[in-house]
């Protein structure tokens, strides 16, 4: 394990998943399970499903191995959840039915609405209080320490892909969690940020950062920011200031991330391929394992289900952006302008047009996955080339070849 001059272990790329903060076992063991040391998917996917994703199945290559996929919303959405609250409802039902004794997740930080506080939730109230996104790097896995000390036998972990990868490896590699029956709910995750950067970014996105209380990058090519008075500000991606396109403002971990859709979770609950409709909060559910099916069964009769929709094809749409993305990953500019790339009004027209004519449903999810994996491949290639073989799973190279992009 690399050490610095003081003898402290150097973490290298790190998404602050929380495992290394645990004191119940040595940090050098935690770090051996780090996804940034072991790479994304590959052998881990094979261990879990008995095989890696199939290179001749375009949907599986992007969305991961699944037993079932559909879109849905809770008939009675949970107030203040991120979408309709399917994740929190699964957690509540898993706890109340006795399937698990505690939930490893996040609360909001008492001093900052958007920041997180890791928690082992062991009452319905504590689980309910975990709903909603905290859009910053978050040490979810820290609370495994509390679960271990309390000798819990059955635990649900809610996390992003870096949490779930590292957890799966750790549980298998070391004895500490062998006796813990762990269920996992995964959220899709991309473009996450460091706490120290969050407000700097929000101030550049929103006309009123102080009153912002909910935000999401939506399928209509706009960021929807809800304010405390209930109004929703919609900022087109194209009209963000140029300085927000500087790759250096994002954590190295999230720019080196190759599992947007959390393919090692038992069940992934996002929104990416769901229809965006006014007054609805449709979500996208990907059931991956038998345990995922059990989790789904807990809430299935409360779901209003819909089949996936949309045309798969989005190649031309992705290709419009590839040259620009590759160039921006290769060369860091000396300065990025604080001005909007495109005036707001024009940006609104462009997002309206793209929303009307661009990919939708599974086509939008296809586009978004490909866009990010292309961006991340070239980020790693140009900025930390020594990590390329370790971090990048094979299917990413196959997808780049579909676009005739150089490896
Ligand atoms: C940074 C970020 C980017 C995302 N990007 C996408 C995307 O591009 N496409 C997509 O489909 N979905 C994305 N999601 C997930 C999506 O926003 C919702 O969390 C998901 O659809 C669940 O909605 P819900 O109403 O069921 O969640 P809720 O019932 O409100 O529950 C949300 C759960 O997620 C946990 N959580 C919140 N923040 C974090 C965090 N930082 N790390 C780990 N766990 C967290 C909460 O503690 C809670 O347990 C993203 C989430 C985050 C945090
Ligand atoms: S990502 Fe997690 S396991 Fe990896 S170095 Fe950071 S805290 Fe440790
Ligand atoms: S983008 Fe990837 S590395 Fe960053 S927090 Fe999300 S899952 Fe972890």
Q: Read off the pLDDT band of 335 (50, 70, 90).
A: confident
Determine the Cα–Cα distance for residues 150 and 318; give it in Å rounded to an integer.
Answer: 49
Calculate the CA 275 to chain-centre distance: 19
Question: pTM to 2 decimals?
Answer: 0.96
In a domain, 75, yes or no: yes
Instruction: Find out whether the beta carbon of 31 lies less than 6 Å from any atom of ligand 2.
Output: yes
- Supply the range of the domain harboring residue 152: 19-191+255-306
Percent of the chain with pLDDT over 70: 98
Coil, helix or strand at residue 177? coil
Instruction: Write out pLDDT tens, residues 96-116.
Output: 999 999 999 999 999 999 999
Determine the Cα–Cα distance for residues 124 and 129; give it in Å rounded to an integer.
Answer: 9
Instruction: Identify the nearest ligand to the CA of 84 by its number.
Output: 1
For the chain, how many structural domains are there in total?
1
What tokens appear for 405 in the block?
Answer: 């992009």
User: Among the residues of 50-97, which ranges form H helices?
Assistant: 58-63, 86-96
The protein residue whose alpha carbon is closest to atom 20 in ligand 1 is 270
In a domain, 366, yes or no: no
> Which atom, in ligand 2's list, is nearest to the CA of 33?
3
- First-to-last CA distance in the chain? 29
In a domain, 6, yes or no: no
Q: Which of 325, 66, 114, 363 is nearest to 219 (CA)?
A: 363
251 CA to centre of ligand 2 in angstroms: 13
What tokens appear for 380 in the block?
Answer: 């790693």
Which of 115, 137, 139, 264 to mutate for ligand 3's pocket (most ligand atoms within 8 Å of CB)? 137
> Which atom, in ligand 1's list, is nearest to the CA of 87?
26
In a domain, 221, yes or no: no
263 CA to centre of ligand 1 in angstroms: 15
Average pLDDT, stretch 324-341?
84
Strand partners, 69: 286
Calculate the CA 159 to chain-centre distance: 8
330 CA to centre of ligand 1 in angstroms: 30
Instruction: Find out whether the beta carbon of 257 lies less than 6 Å from any atom of ligand 1.
Output: no
CATH at residue 40: 3.40.640
Instruction: Write out pLDDT tens, residues 343-395.
Output: 889 999 999 998 899 999 999 999 999 999 999 999 999 999 999 999 999 99
159 CA to centre of ligand 2 in angstroms: 14
CB atoms within 10 A of CB 251: 19
Say if residues 292 and 267 touch (Cβ distance below 8 Å).
Answer: yes
Between the CA of residue 78 and those of 98, 103, 268, 301, what are the distances in Å?
21, 18, 18, 15
Q: What pLDDT was estimated at residue 336?
A: 85
Instruction: Find out whether the beta carbon of 30 lies less than 6 Å from any atom of ligand 2.
Output: yes
Determine the Cα–Cα distance for residues 165 and 260; give it in Å rounded to an integer.
Answer: 12
Determine the Cα–Cα distance for residues 38 and 380; give it in Å rounded to an integer.
Answer: 15
Instruction: Find out whether the beta carbon of 160 lies less than 6 Å from any atom of ligand 2.
Output: no
In a domain, 225, yes or no: no
In a domain, 122, yes or no: yes
In a domain, 79, yes or no: yes
DSSP code of residue 153: S
Instruction: Identify the nearest ligand to the CA of 257 by its number.
Output: 3
Q: How many CA atoms lie less than 13 Å away from 160 in the CB half-sphere?
A: 25
> Which atom, in ligand 3's list, is nearest to the CA of 257?
2
DSSP code of residue 10: P
Say if residues 94 and 181 touch (Cβ distance below 8 Å).
Answer: no
Which of 10, 17, 142 to mutate for ligand 2's pocket (most ligand atoms within 8 Å of CB)? 17
Determine the Cα–Cα distance for residues 272 and 282; give it in Å rounded to an integer.
Answer: 10
What tokens appear for 290 in the block?
Answer: 């038998």
Instruction: Find out whether the beta carbon of 138 lies less than 6 Å from any atom of ligand 2.
Output: no
In a domain, 134, yes or no: yes
Instruction: Write out pLDDT tens, residues 48-88.
Output: 999 999 999 999 999 999 999 999 999 999 999 999 999 99
> Which atom, in ligand 3's list, is nearest to the CA of 254?
4
């Amino acid at each position: 394990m690399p050490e610095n001059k003081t003898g402290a272990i150097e973490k290298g790329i790190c998404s602050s998943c929380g495992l290394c903060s645990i004191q119940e076992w040595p940090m050098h063991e935690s770090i051996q399970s780090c996804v940034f040391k072991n790479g994304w998917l590959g052998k881990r996917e094979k261990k879990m499903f008995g095989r890696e994703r199939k290179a001749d199945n375009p949907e599986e290559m992007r969305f991961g191995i699944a037993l079932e996929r559909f879109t849905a919303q809770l008939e009675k959405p949970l107030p203040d959840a991120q979408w309709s609250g399917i994740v929190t409802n699964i957690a509540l039902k898993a706890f109340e039915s006795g399937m698990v004794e505690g939930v490893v997740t996040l609360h909001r930080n008492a001093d900052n609405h958007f920041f997180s506080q890791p928690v082992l939730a062991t009452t319905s109230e504590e689980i309910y209080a975990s709903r909603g996104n905290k859009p910053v790097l978050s040490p979810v896995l820290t609370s495994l320490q509390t679960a271990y000390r309390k000798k819990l036998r059955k635990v649900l972990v809610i996390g992003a892909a870096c949490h779930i990868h590292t957890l799966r490896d750790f549980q298998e590699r070391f004895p500490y969690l062998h006796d813990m029956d762990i269920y996992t709910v995964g959220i899709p995750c991309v473009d996450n940020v460091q706490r120290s950067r969050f407000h700097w970014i929000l101030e550049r996105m929103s006309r009123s950062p102080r009153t912002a209380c909910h935000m999401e990058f939506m399928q209509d090519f706009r960021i929807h920011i809800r304010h405390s008075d209930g109004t929703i500000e919609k900022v087109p991606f194209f009209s963000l200031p140029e300085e927000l396109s500087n790759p250096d403002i994002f954590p190295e971990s999230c720019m080196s991330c190759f599992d947007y859709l959390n393919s090692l979770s038992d069940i992934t609950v996002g929104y990416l391929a769901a229809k965006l409709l006014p007054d609805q909060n449709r979500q996208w559910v990907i059931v991956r394992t038998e345990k995922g099916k059990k989790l789904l069964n807990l809430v299935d009769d409360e779901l209003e289900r819909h089949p996936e929709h949309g045309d798969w094809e989005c190649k031309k749409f992705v290709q419009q952006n590839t040259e620009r993305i590759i160039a921006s990953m290769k060369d860091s500019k000396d300065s990025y302008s604080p001005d909007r790339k495109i005036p707001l009004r024009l940006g609104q027209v462009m997002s309206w047009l793209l929303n009307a004519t661009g990919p939708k449903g599974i086509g939008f999810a296809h586009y978004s996955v490909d866009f990010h994996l292309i961006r991340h491949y070239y980020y790693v290639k140009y900025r930390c080339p020594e990590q390329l073989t370790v971090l990048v799973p094979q299917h990413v190279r196959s997808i780049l070849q579909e676009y005739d992009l150089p490896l």
